[in-house]
Structure 1
Amino acid sequence: MKALVLSGGSGTRLRPFSYSMPKQLIPIAGKPVLEHVLGNIRDLGVTEVGIVVGAWAREIAAAIGDGSRLGLRVTYIPQDRPLGLAHAVRTARGFLGDDDFVMYLGDVMLPDGVADLAERFRAGRPAAQVVVHRVADPRGFGVVELDAGGAVRRLVEKPRRPRSDLALVGVYFFGPAIHEAVTAVAPGRRGELEITDAIQWLVTRGAKVEAVEYGGYWKDTGQADDVLECNRHLLGGLGGRAVVHPTARVVRSLIEGPAIVGANTVIEDCHLGPGVSIGRDCVLRGTRLSDSIVLDGASIEEVRGMHGSIIGRSAVVRPADRDGMRHRLLVGDNTRIEIPVSI
């Protein structure tokens, strides 16, 4: 079995961060989302991985390299434009050959892994096995409808009126029949080659298509609040510990776990945590911060009461007016600022 990881999207829902970095490299619990994905794939016993990349190809390759650091062999597959998941499969045809493969979106988090689902696919060898999860509002997802016997009857991409609450989580297992399907389908109403249409093509022609409900933790990290919620969940696995890199320097500060502090970071006169992930080469002084993520190289000075925040790479947060109560903001596109006001 091979793996196909899709990392070519633009990440519009994660702006402003995705203006300057690929969404797949946003760190959660001290590690980029894409590394969490590749770790799950390695745990399946899969070592041949194709990563579909777009405009951020250079940045993703710089972070992941040839995969050897992660126990993988990575091939980068350029996709000129993100024209749909089925188009990505078409683009990767040369890499995939006729092997079975797992297709994994590069911005979804399933920290409990999918090893049991891979074993089910290997045992049953369906043409396609899709992984689903029940959601309150499935309109933003691909949706799977089952018949009375539990077989896949219909798949619809982002339906306006869903007939099911079973959402595709972004992990698919395919046999070689999918290649004929992705070649046969035409662009859908969004102008993209939808993988749901390709799988529906298989269903219509009587191929064996299964849906498996995922019972573990799942998060699509496409929005900032989802990133923070996932960070909280993963840090919960530390059992209340604070993990501080040996090269970090902590002076006159309290770090309340669960928390992670990266390499070469300086923490002085701060109260951090719980629920914080601090990247490498950061400087925090006189700061109170909780339930937040600080990316590499950021600096925060004399700011108290920060909560639920994501601070971008090399960003600077500091007081502008020490004598008054005025705020000075240099804010980019699609940024959200929440400032407490007195009533």
Structure 2
Amino acid sequence: MKIIVPMAGRGSRLRPHSLTVPKPLIPVAGQPIVHRLVKDIVKVLNQPIDEIAFVLGDPAWFGDDVVTSLKELATSLGAKASIYRQDQPLGTGHAIMCAKESLSGPAVIAYADTLIRANFKLDPAADAVIWVKQVDKPEAFGVVKLNDNNEIVELVEKPKDFVSDLAVIGIYYFKDVSVLRQELQHVLDNNIVNGGEYQINDGIKGMMAKGNVFKTGQVDEWMDCGNKAVTVETNSRMLGFLKSDGEEQMIASSVKKNNATIIEPCFIGEHVVLNNATIGPNVSIGNHCIIENSSIKNSLIQTNTTIKNADLEDAMIGNHVNYDGNFKTVSIGDYSVLE
């Protein structure tokens, strides 16, 4: 089994936090988004992973440190890491085809801006599986249309009339991904574009037209990391799940506390100093941070940051920030100073 992870986008909706760190590498509940995504997929598949192929953008943005991080992730899961580049933002189908040398055999394709919780088995009768989540407002999503045998027969983007309430979350399984590769090559060769881009959906529609059977795999939780507000919410939800799972070492032993209270669930990294502080619930703090005379809840703080005299809620603060102030809900990018 292979996992293909297109992650070349710049994450513009998550700015300023994605200005210096690629969005998939931004930590949520103590781990980069893409690390959590891949590990969760491995858990669902419950079978050996031979290769994880990552499709990155410009090397000036996705540099050697990113490549090293991803190779270490693959190695930790017993898999080979393959690194590909998408030089131009030409759509989801184009991104997948940038990894065409790895597009053979059974594979999962997963876009690195979402996290999941799921427990289901892949249907061996299906040629492909599209992972979905039941949603309250299907008109805001791309959804699947099913026939009487619960097979997917159509993909409908933001339907005005009700089609189904099963939204496509951006994770797919193919029994033989080379079939998708052939259809996407047809899309590229014939310049079939939607919204000015080459889309995975057009490859999938080609497969459906040739009789390939698509089934659904329904996830229990689907958590977005597209912008600041939903990323903070996802951090809170993930911390709750990890606490329920009995995750160990969510608070590092090197944390120094002086008149400090921690209200779980929280993730607190290495060498964090807490002076006269109340932290939590639902707070993630990265390594080497200092928090003084502050109360923080439902927030996400990255590394090497100092926060003083703050009463924060639903905040997201980047790396190497100095913050001293009385704003409650803030979004501050890396290397910022507010005093």
User: Scaled by the length of structure 1, what TM-score is found?
Assistant: 0.84
CA distance, structure 2, for counterparts of residue 86 and residue 259 of structure 1: 38
The 3 A distance-change label for structure 1 pair 315 and 89 is same
Of residues 307, 314, 318 in structure 2, which corresponds to 1:308?
A: 314
Match of 1:218 in 2: 222
The one-letter amino acid of 2:301's match is V
Residue in 2 that maps onto 1:339? none
Tell me the residue number matched to 1:183: 185
Residues 210-260 of structure 1: per-residue CA shift (max 9 Å, x gap): 23333x111121122221222222211315999321222122211111111
Structure 1, unmatched stretches of 5+, are 320-324, 336-343
Cα shift at 1:71 = 3.5
Q: Given the alignment, which residue of 260, 274, 281 partners 2:281?
A: 274
Residue 163 of structure 1, CA deviation = 3.2
One-letter amino acid of the structure 1 residue matched with residue 317 of structure 2: I
Does residue 197 of the first structure (1) align with residue 202 of the second (2)?
yes
Which stretch of structure 1 is more off in the superposition, 39-48 or 309-318? 39-48
CA 1:263–1:331: 2 relative to 1, 3 Å:
closer
- Distance 1:296-1:206 versus aligned 2 partners, 3 A rule: same
Name the residue aligned to 2:132: 132
The correspondence for 2:305, drawn from 278, 298, 301, is 298
What CA deviation, in whole Å up to 9, does each residue of 1:194-222 have, x standing for no partner? 111111111122222223333x1111211
- Local SS of the residue matching 1:203: helix
The aligned counterpart of 2:49 is 46
Distance 1:152 1:248 in 2: 50
Match status 1:64 vs 2:70: yes
Are the structure 2 counterparts of residues 141 and 193 from structure 1 closer, same or farther at C-alpha, using a change threshold of 3 Å?
A: farther
Match for residue 167 of structure 1? 167
Give the CA deviation at 1:268: 1.0
The answer as to whether partners of 1:108 and 1:221 remain within 8 angstroms in 2 is: yes
What do the CA deviations read for 1:59-114 (whole angstroms, capped 9, x no partner)?
A: 52243334324443211111112322211222111123x311110111210133x5
In the alignment, the residues of structure 1 paired with residue 155 and residue 105 of structure 2 have an alpha-carbon distance, to the nearest angstrom, of 24
Q: 2:262 aligns with which of 223, 233, 255?
A: 255
| Residue pair 1:24, 1:32 contacting (<8 A) in 2 also | yes
Does structure 2 retain, via aligned residues, the 8 Å contact 1:57–1:78? Answer: no
What are the ranges of 5 or more consecutive residues in structure 2 without an aligned counterpart? none
SS in 2 for 1:177: helix
**In the alignment, residue 217 of structure 1 is paired with which amino acid?**
E
Q: Per-residue deviation at 1:291? A: 0.8
Q: Is the 8 A contact 2:9 2:57 kept in 1?
A: yes
State the identity %: 28
Residues 79-88 or 256-265, more deviating: 79-88
Aligned residue number for residue 234 of structure 1? 238
Quote how far apart the aligned CAs of 1:182 are: 0.7
CA contact (8 A) 2:317 2:331 kept: no
Note if 1:264 corresponds to 2:262. Answer: no
1:69 to 1:204, Cα distance in 2 relative to 1, 3 A: closer
TM normalised by structure 2 equals: 0.85
Say how many residue pairs are matched: 319
How well do the aligned residues superpose, as a CA RMSD in angstroms?
A: 2.8
Stretch deviating more after TM superposition (58-67 or 253-262): 58-67
